[in-house]
Chains A and B, each alone.
Chain A
Amino acid sequence: MTHIVEIADVTKRYGDANAVNQLTVTVDQPGIHGLLGRNGAGKTTLMKLVAGHLKPTSGEVRINGEACSPQRMSRSVSFVESRASQFNMGASSLLRAAHQLHNDFDDEFARTMLSKFELDPKKKYKRLSFGMQTMVSTIIGLAINTDVVMLDEPSLGFDVVMRRRFIDLLRESLDRHPRIILVSTHQMDDIARVADHLLVIDAGTLRARAPMSDIASQFASADDYFLSVLEGSTDE
């Protein structure tokens, strides 16, 4: 069977340390998948492997059945890295460039989101606050409309209002184009409001995954679920 995202026994080693360690997981269901983990758990490395930014030390990443690596990056994945640096142009110009680079770009969604988040379309990228810069990158990543969208710590730098709006943004984007949206975060209760599934990784290995409905029926909060996984009382 061909999976949309298939990570098969993947290890990524930096020197003596394994950032990702013999990790195997498949993701097929459209929806918002929260990727939870402590600092240094391997969340960003895992996303970079799926995006084809990094080459696995061993194992294989496949997207829609095709092997993915720096030599063969999948066009079906978009990745918005935390603190991604964009060209120092207005958000409007960046959206236009992204539109020209992708004919499936959902320009209407992107422009609506710009105005919903009250982002000045002409203000140069470097003059935006960190949270607003992240929002511009996230809007571009979602509007590109690939089968898999990965957002690395998108809510860093967001205030409370932006965090709530961000959740609306994810849900609206998914409603327009059902696909896999993988979001890594430390803000567990935020992602719990919107996620359909949670995956927990620790020390580069997948510790647990579960539908949000199951988690909600057993735990008072996503924090509790996460801590219970780390303490070893909950397994995949």
Chain B
Amino acid sequence: MSLTSTYSLFKESLRLALRSLQSSKLRTFLTLLGIIVGVTAVIAVVTIINGLDSTVASAFSAQGSTVFSVSKQPLVITSREDFIKFNKRKDVTKRDAEAIQRLCRSCWRTGMSINGTGLVKFGENRSENVSVRGLSVSMFDIENVVLQAGRVWTEQEGKSGRNTCVIGTDIIENLFPGSSAERVIGKSIKVDGLPFVIQGVSEPFGKVLGFSRDNFVYIPFETGQRLFGARDSIVIHVQVEDSNSFETAKDESRSIMRNRRKKRAGDDDDGFSIDSQDAFIGIYQNATSGIYFATIGVAAISLVVGGIVVMNIMLVSVTERTKEIGLRKAVGARRRDILMQFLIEAVAVTMVGGALGVFTGYGLAYFLSLALGFPLLISAQSGFMGVTTSFVVGLISGIYPAFTASKLSPIDAMRSD
């Protein structure tokens, strides 16, 4: 058999396959559903997670891993027992912050924050659930807050506990619709009923996963303590100059804090928590890898089911076309020609399903990326993977029906009606 004849046979088989796909569109669609669902799931999840990864990476790298915080409770509490345990710890205070600033040699900048939420009003306009944070002046450097209008309060102004604030752009939108940043400077807004003068407006931070990061009012730390009560635990923020000294600075801070809490070597609990973005990233990666594996499981099940459906339909097709197979054999088709014809048909069916799955997967990812606000990162690799997987499914589910067809005797095949 020459190359051209193999090619002719291949073309004939492909033509046949496409024709039988076309002839019964509903049946084809139902046959392919399992494969479409499987491939869609993989493609959508891979694409979405790629987008999330890049969002998370860019959101966190703004600060980089040069900043850690020291606080009474860790950022993430996973159980009630832990919550009760952490609640019994001593509050972190301004004195702790001063101690770290004084004693930690690897630490570059230290800042303090006292965090809460509040209701912000201007006239009739109101904004609820605003993040109200009392910040030391150094926090603007540590958190990389850049102002587009006005200025940050001075140390002096801060210490005097003045009712002054720096706001995020959402506050302008909600309280001064249509107004520019410059024009709101000097205006007096009410935070939980107390008047505050707007002294500065931050550049927008944008959204992460649909959550705005611009709905805030920053007030001087001392003012915050007055507002939320001086007894509340504060958060100490420490920045190192370069990430190489990050771990050293954490260790130094830890031992300073343990000393202040009078902890011995044998004590399990530090009595405070040191957190950095690594913790967030760790949680994020845990969560996404969970999603990843769950999806692969779902996809695997639907591909297996899809493969069984394809095999079933191919067997029906072989039975239906017994006469045709017999005729082909009578006019000279060999076993392998029939085998190839049905294999190609099975593979063509599943690859069409795979391609549809790739497109619906990308489509799904596109709409989710619009809804949640992360970039759509389409990887050709995942598309290739989807189509290859469906190729393999087609091959596996097609082999038995194709083999059955190839074994039919031309006489028996032609006798059936």
Are the chains A and B members of one assembly? no
Q: CB within 8 Å of B: which residues of A?
A: none
